[in-house]
Structure 1
Amino acid sequence: MNFSWWFANKIAFGKSSKNNLSTTIIRIGQIAVAIGIMVALITLSTGIGARKGIKQKLADFNGHITIKPYNSNLSFNSDSLSLKQDFYPNFRAVPEINHIQAIAVKGGIIRTKDNFSGVFLKGVGTDFDRVRFHNYITKGKFPIIGKTQVSNDVVIPEKIAKELHLDVDSSFVIYFSQNNGKPIYRRFQVSGLFSTDIKDFDDIYIIGDIKQVQRLNKWDSLTVGGFELFTDIEKLDEVALKVNENINFQLYAQSASTSFTQINDWIAIFDTNIFVVLFIMMIVVVINMVMVLLILILERTHSIGLLKTLGATNWRVRKIFIYYAVFIMIPGLVVGNVLGIGLLLIQKYFKIIKLPAENYYLSYAPVYLDIGYILILNICAIIISAIVLILPSYLISKITPNQAMKINQS
């Protein structure tokens, strides 16, 4: 067994270390480590959780990747596109795609007795992933979309429902403009309410039967406005590139991360915040451990002199105290992890901390817990501290046996 490791373990966890003068300093160092690792865990988990949560919402509502005609106009209204595509309903050329659904969008104005609102009817078919969207339903249910029968049921955002005094089972009329200038109106029934906390969606979109949009645009059943593709949320741009390489030149694919650049730029701020907080917490932990190590060296000057008298080299003694300081960190790391993970689990399941959705696109602080991140964070804290402690441990080289004995005698 390595002597330095064994000796450091004995003085760190042995009975002799319980009642010496350095106990208070050690406790302060352990508390600092616990607070540092706890804050770092919370920052990392909530930061990654927020980033993933917002990206997931963008992708769930609008598709991870969208395919549209290459000459598609800049408005929200869909251009026509044939449903008969080599990639639909299964994209065999890009196996990362796990689901495809056809959609079509048509703009109109909801009119009620006392208010109105401009909206876009997003038409979906029988291939729509209802399970994925179920998380955003707050009241009622998603419309039942049949293969032949046209459904008048729609789900609308809670915000629009509140502004127009609508609720589940309410009905309303939408006026759609046509190329000839004559509006067409359709009456719809509210089957459910939804909320994504993303203004771009909750302010303008309602979801209903794609056959309604096809009838309004005088399309046949094999004409749609575009396709939404779903894949791994962390590989959107990479998969979008593959999709573009395997579709007709008259089509183009766009990932959710490029469709909503403003929101994604805002999401990128989380990465900066996470790095800054982790850096500050690591500095705090390292400074505290350096102070603890220096005090331990000064407090155990006699022991250092005795070890050198017995033939221990400077580097061997330095390693003893570096290991000693690292061993002192362990209880602090354990307590910090327990407290941090405990608080995160409480937030994850009880959603105690709320957020203003209009600013954060989330109604509560999300939590992402991954054993890999936790282990890496703890290992990095130990390794960085051990490396940084090499420099202050150089003080040991300045202590000679004669000086140590003189200090002890005085």
Structure 2
Amino acid sequence: MNFSWWFSKKIALGKNTKNNLSSIIIRIAQVAVALGIIVSLVTFSTGVGARQAIKNKLADFNGHITIRNYNSNNSLSSDSISIKQAFYPNFKNVEDIVHVQAIANKSGVIRTAENFSGVVFKGVGTDYDSTRFKNFLIKGHFPRINNDSLVDDVVLSKKVADELKLDVDSSFVMYFIRDESNPVYRRFNVRGIYKSDIKNFDDIVMIGDIKHIQNLNKWDSTTIGGFELFVKNIDDIEMVSAKVAQNIPYNLLSESASDSFAQINEWIAIFDKNITIILVVMLFVVVINMVMVLLILILERTNSIGLLKAFGATNWSVRRLFINYALFIMMPGLLAGNVIGIGLLLIQKYFKIITLPAENYYISVAPVYLDVKMIVILNAGALLVCAIVLLLPSYMISKITPSKAINFR
């Protein structure tokens, strides 16, 4: 067995430091390590969780990738394209695409006896993946759209429904502009109410039968406003979007959810910066504490260092002994930090104690992302960095000579 490892383990687990001055410093260092791990775990888990939760919401509500007319302007209403495309209904050339659905948008105004609100009517067909939308529904159900008849049922956001004092089974009139002529109106029934916590959607989007938009725009059943595509892995959106762009006609434009909501994604990127800053600060605190502990241990055990050298131990073996000793001291702090940190995260995950203002964070509950690989890397990284940094203060051992150390008081 390696002498440095065995000896450091012996003195670290022994009782010879329980009643001396260094035990206080050791306990302080272990508390610092535990706090560092707790803060790091909570920061990383909630930061990554928030980033993923917001990205998933954006993508699930509006598609991971959208395809529209290349000449489309910034209007809220869709330009027309044909539904007869080689990639619809199955995008065979890009295997990462799991679903394609046709959509169309048209802006209008909902009018009630007491108020009015401008909204965008998002028309969908029988190919719409309503299963993804169920995560947003808070009341009622999604309209049962079919190919045979025009369905007047729609889904409204909670914000719009509250402003207009509408509820499930309520009805309202919506006005549309068609060909710069007099406004035309349609009556709709509220069948469901959703809440996404994303202002871009909750403020204006209403979902219903795409045949309404086709009739209002005087389109036939093969004309739509665009396509929404969903991929297997949301982390591969950018790569898949590039493949999609290479496999669609020149007159169509593909855009990933990251590009469609660039401002929100730039805001999400702040999470990565915050995570990095906090992890660096916590690691710095842990390293400083361990350096202090090592220096105190070296000063306290100068006599022992002299004896070891007198018995033939090399400088490097003694340095390794004290570095291993310091890392052993870290272990209880790491263990306690992981137990407490993971425990707090599990409580938040299942009981959702900490809530957030959705208007600022796009999510109403602090999300939790737990990954065994992440936890192992975080702990191993802390140990590795400390081991490397402790090489410098351990150099003091090389300056200690047996003759002076044995007489050291």
Residue 95 of structure 1 aligns with an amino acid whose one-letter code is E
* In structure 1, distance between residues paired with 2:404 and 2:90: 80
* In structure 1, distance between residues paired with 2:163 and 2:180: 31
SS in 2 for 1:15: coil
2:391 equivalent in structure 1: 390
Residue 404 of structure 2 aligns with an amino acid whose one-letter code is Q
1:341 equivalent in structure 2: 342
Residue 301 of structure 1 aligns with an amino acid whose one-letter code is T
- Structural mapping, 1:241-256, within 5 Å: 241-256=242-257
Residue 213 of structure 1 aligns with an amino acid whose one-letter code is I
TM-score by length of 1: 0.98
Larger displacement relative to structure 2 (329-338 or 281-290): 329-338
* In structure 1, distance between residues paired with 2:170 and 2:254: 37
What per-residue deviation string (whole Å, max 9, x for no partner) do you get for residues 94-114 of structure 1?
101111111011110000001
1:373 equivalent in structure 2: 374
- Structural mapping, 1:9-408, within 5 Å: 9-231=9-231, 232-407=233-408
* In structure 1, distance between residues paired with 2:75 and 2:197: 23
SS in 1 for 2:266: helix
Q: Which runs of 5+ in 1 are unaligned?
A: none
How big is the shift at 1:346? 1.0
Q: Aligned-pair RMSD on alpha carbons?
A: 1.1
Q: Could you tell me the percent identity over the aligned residues?
A: 65
SS in 1 for 2:60: helix
Residue 134 of structure 1 aligns with an amino acid whose one-letter code is K
Residue 112 of structure 2 aligns with an amino acid whose one-letter code is T
How big is the shift at 1:206? 0.5
What per-residue deviation string (whole Å, max 9, x for no partner) do you get for residues 326-357 of structure 1?
11111111111111111111111111111111
Larger displacement relative to structure 2 (307-316 or 206-215): 206-215
How big is the shift at 1:17? 3.9
Residue 286 of structure 1 aligns with an amino acid whose one-letter code is V
How big is the shift at 1:404? 1.8
Residue 331 of structure 2 aligns with an amino acid whose one-letter code is I
How big is the shift at 1:180? 3.7
* In structure 1, distance between residues paired with 2:104 and 2:322: 68
* In structure 2, distance between residues paired with 1:354 and 1:15: 46
How big is the shift at 1:82? 1.1
SS in 1 for 2:123: strand
SS in 1 for 2:16: helix
Q: Which runs of 5+ in 2 are unaligned?
A: none
Q: Name the count of aligned residue pairs.
A: 408
* In structure 1, distance between residues paired with 2:380 and 2:406: 38
* In structure 2, distance between residues paired with 1:395 and 1:313: 13
SS in 1 for 2:220: coil
TM-score by length of 2: 0.98
* In structure 2, distance between residues paired with 1:215 and 1:4: 82
* In structure 2, distance between residues paired with 1:18 and 1:6: 19
* In structure 1, distance between residues paired with 2:290 and 2:180: 77
How big is the shift at 1:21? 3.2
How big is the shift at 1:2? 1.3
What per-residue deviation string (whole Å, max 9, x for no partner) do you get for residues 379-406 of structure 1?
1100000000000011111221122221
* In structure 1, distance between residues paired with 2:393 and 2:50: 39
* In structure 2, distance between residues paired with 1:192 and 1:172: 14
How big is the shift at 1:237? 1.4
* In structure 2, distance between residues paired with 1:114 and 1:196: 25
* In structure 2, distance between residues paired with 1:364 and 1:180: 45
How big is the shift at 1:302? 1.4
How big is the shift at 1:299? 1.4
SS in 1 for 2:145: coil
What per-residue deviation string (whole Å, max 9, x for no partner) do you get for residues 33-76 of structure 1?
00001100111011111111111111111110000011112201
* In structure 2, distance between residues paired with 1:135 and 1:240: 25
Residue 395 of structure 1 aligns with an amino acid whose one-letter code is M
Residue 174 of structure 2 aligns with an amino acid whose one-letter code is I
